[in-house]
Structure 1
């Protein structure tokens, strides 16, 4: 859970996602909304501008994330022209879901979100590497467990107030 300095960003234990939670995380747009709202609250208008999408479409996605507890609304504020605005902040709950957001209808929403984000910042800013391995099922399970433990450790750390924002995407696939 994102919070003030010294407060862990993610709290709670991992658990299987409900059907509604899994459906909520099965969208690249919703995953991008969660990433954008991780370190600071954004309004629907701000999200639509950053995603270059229609505000009504973004509001549909925001409401889905609100209904499933992935976003929370912060107190209303007044916009530049005095209009009521509601800022939204990610709860960090998506990190705790097992079996959520996997490939739906042949598409992986996490990969789609990653590719959109890389497209937005440019490939020249991407730091990537590849590694080929030959693993028994037990060693593959060990690798996955250790990688998840490492990512979980960083997800639960308080955000560094002076730190630069980074995203990590990890994909594993069998070779043909």
Structure 2
């Protein structure tokens, strides 16, 4: 069951970088250094984002381990909490994260399946469509196991005011 995001959760999700960190740590725990390398970002900046995500329950620290030179490393794993929240005003952050992830596919033919569709629906049909998509996405999000290739879905549904 979804619930509205708290103010702190909404602020945490209003960053494209934080959304990407949550996604990076979805399947396996990564250290701050590993996250920074994957994002091609400053480790100190990434640590700020990681701490915000831990404080708001989107990441959870795993058991501390020793790095190659004996340094202390803490890997972080996504809690999947972001999927349980509604709203939060993260629309622009989601677009930013989507653009960064899409850019990683640049030049790969057929790497992304994009589609646009314009419809005319009654309010009841609109609600039915939203509910059906939500049920389908929830079904796949709640499947157990980490087998298979990683895929991401970006879905935007909105009233098209340009066609009024």
Interval containing the TM-score (normalised by the shorter chain): over 0.9
Structure 2 gap ranges (5+): none
Tell me, in whole angstroms, the C-alpha distance in 2 between the residues paired with 1:58 and 1:71: 13
**Native 8 Å contact 1:27 1:101 kept in 2:** no
Does structure 2 retain, via aligned residues, the 8 Å contact 1:24–1:101?
A: no
Q: Distance in 2 between matches of 1:53 and 1:101?
A: 24
1:119 to 97, 100, 103: 103
Which of the residues 104, 113, 130 maps onto 1:144? 130
Provide Cα deviations, 1:11-63, integer angstroms capped at 9, x if missing partner. Answer: xx311111001111111000000000000000000000000110010000000
TM normalised by structure 1 equals 0.86
Tell me which residue corresponds to 1:167: 152
1:60 aligns with 2:48: yes
Instruction: Please tell me whether the aligned partners of residues 66 and 72 of structure 2 are also in contact (alpha carbons under 8 angstroms).
Output: yes
Structure 1 gaps of 5+ residues are 1-12
Q: Higher relative contact order by CA 8 Å / sep ≥ 6: 1 or 2?
A: 1
Q: Is the 8 A contact 1:65 1:71 kept in 2?
A: yes
How many residue pairs end up in the alignment? 159
Task: Quickly say closer, same or farther: Cα 1:155–1:27, change in 2 above 3 A.
Answer: same
Cα distance change of structure 1 residues 59 and 160 upon mapping to structure 2, 3 Å threshold: closer
The separation in 2 between residues aligned to 1:101 and 1:119, in whole angstroms, is: 23
4+ residue runs over 3 A deviation:
none
Match in the other structure for 2:88: 100
Aligned to 2:74: 86
- Cα distance change, pair 88–48 in 1 and its aligned pair in 2 (3 A): same
